[in-house]
A and B are shown apart, each in its own frame.
Chain A
Amino acid sequence: MMITNKIKVFRAINDMTQGELAEKVGVTRQTIIALEKGKYNPSLELAFKIAHVFDVGIEEAFSYQGSEN
């Protein structure tokens, strides 16, 4: 998986459930579960929304593990 995230960590820090986060960013809980498990890469808009909910920069919540090639 090229894109990793710290959604679970930020959820724990903010004492937020997956359902609450899903409601705040307007997606289903399944999408939050898939994101946390690294099974789905979010759109740029969703990534920004999630970062905004946690009040952090997008690069803090998500990171790209690209290869040099």
Chain B
Amino acid sequence: MDKKKFRSYSVVISALMGAGVGISVANGKPGIALAVLLTGQWSIYWLKSRVKEVMEDEMITMYAGKAAKKVFEIFGLLISAGSMVFIALKSREPYFEYVGYTLAFSAVTMVLIYAIAYYYYTRGLRGLMSDDNE
């Protein structure tokens, strides 16, 4: 399979996933929504593995990493600040507190996932600093 076909199939699968998840959620069936999401993601990964051309290389990985870091910084700051604002305004609207805590927990979850990913990708570098004096 070539890249063009992969992109076309991915768009179709994504559209089907969006429709499937939307309908399932609207009908109050989160289990089906999750199943659709996982099946769709698995299908895309499977299709990607069938592509013979190079899909990602070091340049794409580098720029994707830079973009992801920037998103992490900006979005992390926004939801952290947003959570504080919402929690501070809880006296005005009681549900602001829930919104604030949801944002705060999202920020913490994001930082945790980042920390795990960072730990995983730098696992080969651990202990190198101790070699400085050798």
Contact = CB atoms under 8 A, between A and B. Distances in A.
Interface string B52-63: 011111111000
> Could you say which interface size class chain B belongs to?
under 10
Contacts of B58: 27, 31, 42-43, 46
A58 interface: no
Nearest to A45: B58
Interface string A34-50: 10000010110010000
Contact of A31 (B53, B55, B59): B59
A49 to B, nearest CB: 11
B54 A40 contact: no
A51 B74 CA distance: 40
Interface centre among B53, B56, B59 (most CB of A within 10 A): B59
A41 B57 CA distance: 13
B54 A34 contact: no
A9 to B, nearest CB: 21
Contacts of A27: 54, 57-59
Interface string B2-41: 0000000000000000000000000000000000000000
A43 B58 CA distance: 8
A30 interface: yes
Interface in A11-63: 22-23, 26-28, 30-31, 34, 40, 42-43, 46
A46 B61 CA distance: 14
Contacts of A22: 54
Interface of B: 53-60
Given A27-B59, A31-B57, 15 more contacts: A23-B54, A26-B57, A27-B54, A27-B58, A28-B53, A28-B54, A28-B55, A28-B57, A28-B60, A30-B59, A31-B59, A34-B59, A40-B59, A42-B58, A43-B58
Interface of A: 22-23, 26-28, 30-31, 34, 40, 42-43, 46
